[in-house]
Amino acid sequence: MTYPASLILVILLLACGTDHRDVPRTTVEPVARGSDDPNTLDQLVQRLPNVTLPWTFELRGDGVPSIELSSVEQQLLANDPEQEAGVAVGLVVDPSDAKHILWLSPADSELPMITTFTSNGAFVRTEGLVIGRCGPGPCYECKETVRVNDDLTILTTDTVTACECDSTYEPLPIPCEHYVTVRQGTLSSAGAYMAAPVIIDLNK
């Protein structure tokens, strides 16, 4: 499938992300560890800021403002009793009054996630927003960017340059591969849903 140059340009511009350097992590007193208060979600929602859209996040970048969570809150967002780490970014406002909490799950880098609850606080689903194919390697560059747009669509891009190397990891004098992996999604009262990734070959 051939993609027009304008689409490829838009994807690359979005993949550039924003500069998050010198952005501190906000420490807000979390609900006490071990709390069994049934109002934990309400307390968390009340202290989270609204996320300004569009919101752009670059994996392995310098981070974004975030709020510390108690273990109870972390388990609530992950819907997993074993979840013990994570920080919240804020609420993504939805006209349907669903509660979308944008948060970061720890791995090699912090991974953006969205957990959705109904307006009454019932858990709906948790969805990861990344593609997850970027990784270190010789003569290989990969930049992954996640963007949540004003219209509650989601775009994640992996922009890759992959070259052949010699034994000293110097690029060989042959053309490198350039491609973008794109994953699109939507956010609604049913939660965040991300489609399967699609690869766009920029060498063609």
pLDDT digits (tens, 9 = 90+) for 161-196: 999 999 888 888 899 999 999 999 999 999 999 999
Residue 62's pLDDT is what?
66
Would strands 177-188 and 191-194 be described as parallel, antiparallel, or unpaired?
A: antiparallel
Residue 54, preceding peptide bond in cis (omega within 30° of 0) = yes
pLDDT digits (tens, 9 = 90+) for 59-81: 876 678 999 998 889 888 988 77
Using only C-alpha atoms, the chain has a radius of gyration, in whole angstroms, of: 19
Distance (Å, whole) CA 65 – CA 88 = 9
pLDDT digits (tens, 9 = 90+) for 70-116: 888 988 898 877 666 789 999 999 988 899 999 998 877 789 999 99
166, 157, 162: which is closest to 177 by C-alpha?
Answer: 162
Residue 109's pLDDT is what?
76
CB 34: neighbour CB atoms within 10 A?
Answer: 8
Residue 84's pLDDT is what?
65
Q: CB neighbours of 57 closer than 8 A, spacing ≥ 6?
A: 17, 20, 64, 112, 145, 146, 147
156, 161, 169: which is closest to 14 by C-alpha?
Answer: 156
C-alpha 29: how far from its chain's center?
24
